[in-house]
Structure 1
Amino acid sequence: MSDKPRLHSAGPTHLDRARDLRPLIEREAAEAEALGRLTDPVVEALHEAGLFGIWLPAPLGGAELSPAELLAVFEELSYADASTGWVVMATTLENGTGGAYLGDEAVEHIFRGPRTPLFAGQGTRPGTAVREDGGFRLSGRWSFASAMPHAQYVHSLGVVEGTGEERIFITPVEAAEPLGNWDVLGLRATGSIDYAIDDVFVPESRTHLFSQDEPLRGGAIYRLGLLDQALICHSAWALGVGRRLLDELGRHVTARAGRPGQLAASEAFHTGFARAEAAHRAAHALVRQTWDDVEATLDAGGTLSTRQETMVRLALNHATSTLTEVAGFVYASGGTGALRDGLIQRLFRDAHAGAQHITSGPQVLRECGRELAGLAQGEEWAVFALEP
């Protein structure tokens, strides 16, 4: 048995709390979409339920859920509302990894308050950092900072000039200039605005390597590194939204059963619904099976093999592509009820907005196929590509 920290588990409490919040989240969803951010009652309820602390290391007072527990909570919240699930998964990933990887001085300042701080930002397209005594000066422009209207801190990827080193930089939200261009097809309530930072000093303790996979605090989940942990988020989100789409279509059709010409009497619809249900359940099973395998490896003190790294990417890609197929079937089957403003229309838009995320891109699927076919011997995953 390895002496490395094992997975931490907090049990079903936070999943139960997420379920309890579903009526409130559903009632507030339309207003949140109109506002372009979650409503204050929902944000407050999420705080009170401790759901913004589910990824935070236990030594900092967080719940530090296991991957399976996180999957269940994010799936539940995304079922209630796609934007709410997205906001919670984004900010908890960022405050959780910050708590695990940032220096002591930063952690003592950022996490000292009675309430879990919320992070927003972007960790793919980088800004530029110039090393200076005690830290760095960061500049750049980033897109899609989910949860920015609710955040106290901003999480940004930057490349250090002269070394090419990629680091995550944590700055107060006041140091970022919102660019006010949030006009999108779906996930409107996530407030995922673009932002700019201009020559802001960031102490070294408020940074960490993008590739860091050895935590300074907390257990085995943080040995996945930032990117692999992000795959938990998007996999659960796709599963939750897909399940809600199918359930809403079932309710829509049942409510109209018995009327002449309705889908309830269509054999073609019955067949299509069965296929959509099977596809969703298969995607769900693959995600769960893949992460069960990951958990066993982490809990034993191991690190993921290249094949396991492939599978967590493939499971996400498959869940996302299945979601868009399900969304298309539900929208086409919903008729004018889906065309008009309402839940099915919003879910359709949200599904296609979320599917645009880089973690589910076509390059990743191609690389998965290459590795699974045995054509990437001796190569390892470097974010979204296999390299020697």
Structure 2
Amino acid sequence: MASFPVLWWRPRIEVRAIMKHAEETVLDGAEILARASGIRPLLREHAAEVETARRLTAPVVDALRSTGVFRMSMPTAWGGPELDVCRQIEIIETLSRADASAGWCAMIGSDSGYYSGYLDGLAARSLYPDLDAVTAGWLVPAGTMEVCDGGYRLSGRWSFGSGVTHADVVVGGARVTENGSPRTTADGAPEWRIAMLPASQWQVLDTWNPTGLAGSGSHDYSIADTFVPAENTWFPGERHRAGSLYAWRGMYVVNFVGVPLGVALDACDTATGILAGKVMMPELTPAHDEPRVRSGIARARALVGSARSYAYDTAGTLWATLEAGDEPSFDQRAQLAGCFVHTVSTCRDAVRLLVDTVGTAAIRKTSPLERQSRDVNTIAQHVLAQARMWEWAGGLHFGQDPSMPVL
């Protein structure tokens, strides 16, 4: 299997003085959103190159880093913006309107503030000396961590490491073993934890070659018999940081909905632009005068608009609960689970409708709508967008916890 080094265009971040956090430029949500809007032309310009490379290119990563999107969830105590989830969704949505792969990687990479909050302060600052450090990786326990003095020896291989080609920190879930045998928790369940290490200690495997989100660089990655200090590991639910943004274990996935929303919103604009100048054959009449065309555009925009309103309403209600110091109820968690799959499926339906309405112009590889169709279809394969989320959502409405710890 071919492989390539992590951080292939920029040197490994050195551990700098803790005071660097105080010296960082302080960005608020409005400034990050404005910067995200400002780089949209660059993201569009590089979209084809990113898709061919199957990872974000250097200019795109640098542009994203310059916006502050990767620091969205960093704490104010470190000089970060600690943005509420609705503002995060808005920023991810804005970037995804320009390119789904860039928006997806921004969404993944912005988890650094959450991940650093799962560690003790000193360990967290050692791994994250830079507010704009990018985190990538998969929490599913696909590896093993053998207990040793001071920590664990980690081995394993993980899939879908979105953004791993430009990450600074990589994470991986693993089952804990001791003397080669699985270790269990007090209730008898197999113990597993998440390990976090600098990206330079992992190997990226060249495995990502999909039809959509091709530029996300979601390659497999691996590690072999590598020491992980105990303080660099955690389990979902553990936290070492106060504040509403870090009060509930599932917060880091809430901004996921910004990607399909951004793709679908831009697809609406793209389709409208195409149809505004299209002449229907053989009638030689303007497409925008056709009842079918008008209806298709209106229905697609209503689909996306309704999904967007529901997503922001769900996230806003969750945020208000956490701001009040309360735990999300079963019904709120159920609504969030349903919102994930509803948003993606509705956005995909809208894009399909737009493709059908536009016709042959939408299937040309030179058309943004063609790529948006492939991107939203790929997003729909993510675990948060699959049909079983409806089952988990329904179970939560009946007071039953799902097997997915993030919910």
- Quick check: 1:345 aligned with 2:363? no
Compare the two structures and name the one with the higher helix fraction: 1
Q: Provide the C-alpha distance between the structure 2 equivalents of 1:120 and 1:371, rounded to a whole number of angstroms.
A: 29
Q: RMSD over aligned Cα, in angstroms?
A: 2.0
Measured against aligned partners, the alpha-carbon deviations of 1:111-156 in whole angstroms (never above 9, x if no partner) come to 224x622221112353222222211121111111011111122111
Deviation of the 1:51 alpha carbon:
1.9
Q: What is the TM-score with the length of structure 2 in the denominator? A: 0.85
Going from structure 1 to structure 2, the CA distance change for 1:128 and 1:266 (only over 3 Å counts) comes to: same
Q: Equivalent residue for 1:128?
A: 144
Asked if the contact 2:277/2:287 (under 8 Å) is kept, the reply is no
Residue 150 of structure 1: which of 166, 176, 179 is its match? Answer: 166
Where do residues 1-388 of structure 1 align in structure 2 (5 Å cutoff)? Answer: 10-93=28-111, 95-113=112-130, 116-124=132-140, 126-161=142-177, 162-163=183-184, 164-212=190-238, 215-225=239-249, 227-230=250-253, 232-256=254-278, 260=284, 263-342=287-366, 343-372=368-397, 376=398, 378-383=399-404
Deviation of the 1:218 alpha carbon:
4.9
Quick one: percent identity of the two aligned structures? 32
Gaps of 5+ in 2: 1-26, 178-182, 185-189
Going from structure 1 to structure 2, the CA distance change for 1:241 and 1:56 (only over 3 Å counts) comes to: same
Q: Provide the C-alpha distance between the structure 1 equivalents of 2:260 and 2:242, rounded to a whole number of angstroms.
A: 27
Q: What is the TM-score with the length of structure 1 in the denominator? A: 0.89
SS in 2 for 1:156: strand
Measured against aligned partners, the alpha-carbon deviations of 1:274-309 in whole angstroms (never above 9, x if no partner) come to 222111111111111111111111111111000000
SS in 1 for 2:125: helix
Aligned residue type for 2:334: T
Q: Provide the C-alpha distance between the structure 2 equivalents of 1:57 and 1:126, rounded to a whole number of angstroms.
A: 30
Aligned residue type for 1:104: G
SS in 2 for 1:182: coil
Q: Provide the C-alpha distance between the structure 1 equivalents of 2:146 and 2:319, rounded to a whole number of angstroms.
A: 38
Q: Equivalent residue for 1:5?
A: none
Q: Provide the C-alpha distance between the structure 2 equivalents of 1:218 and 1:59, rounded to a whole number of angstroms.
A: 10
Going from structure 1 to structure 2, the CA distance change for 1:265 and 1:233 (only over 3 Å counts) comes to: same
Going from structure 1 to structure 2, the CA distance change for 1:100 and 1:384 (only over 3 Å counts) comes to: closer
Going from structure 1 to structure 2, the CA distance change for 1:139 and 1:145 (only over 3 Å counts) comes to: same
Asked if the contact 1:166/1:210 (under 8 Å) is kept, the reply is no
Going from structure 1 to structure 2, the CA distance change for 1:272 and 1:120 (only over 3 Å counts) comes to: same
Q: Provide the C-alpha distance between the structure 2 equivalents of 1:179 and 1:136, rounded to a whole number of angstroms.
A: 23
- Range 34-43 or range 291-300, more displaced: 34-43
Q: Provide the C-alpha distance between the structure 1 equivalents of 2:36 and 2:357, rounded to a whole number of angstroms.
A: 30
Deviation of the 1:104 alpha carbon:
2.8
Q: Provide the C-alpha distance between the structure 2 equivalents of 1:262 and 1:166, rounded to a whole number of angstroms.
A: 61
Deviation of the 1:170 alpha carbon:
0.7
Aligned residue type for 1:323: C
**Equivalences, count:** 368
Deviation of the 1:255 alpha carbon:
1.9
Aligned residue type for 2:39: L
Deviation of the 1:250 alpha carbon:
0.6
Aligned residue type for 1:61: G
Deviation of the 1:11 alpha carbon:
3.9
Deviation of the 1:385 alpha carbon:
9.9
Asked if the contact 2:337/2:392 (under 8 Å) is kept, the reply is no
Aligned residue type for 1:313: A
Q: Equivalent residue for 1:6?
A: none
Asked if the contact 1:75/1:240 (under 8 Å) is kept, the reply is yes
Q: Provide the C-alpha distance between the structure 1 equivalents of 2:327 and 2:115, rounded to a whole number of angstroms.
A: 21
Q: Provide the C-alpha distance between the structure 2 equivalents of 1:382 and 1:59, rounded to a whole number of angstroms.
A: 34
Q: Provide the C-alpha distance between the structure 2 equivalents of 1:111 and 1:228, rounded to a whole number of angstroms.
A: 19
Q: Provide the C-alpha distance between the structure 1 equivalents of 2:47 and 2:141, rounded to a whole number of angstroms.
A: 30
Aligned residue type for 1:86: W
Deviation of the 1:65 alpha carbon:
0.7
Asked if the contact 1:152/1:173 (under 8 Å) is kept, the reply is yes
Asked if the contact 2:70/2:132 (under 8 Å) is kept, the reply is yes
Gaps of 5+ in 1: 1-8
Deviation of the 1:228 alpha carbon:
4.0
Asked if the contact 1:122/1:155 (under 8 Å) is kept, the reply is yes
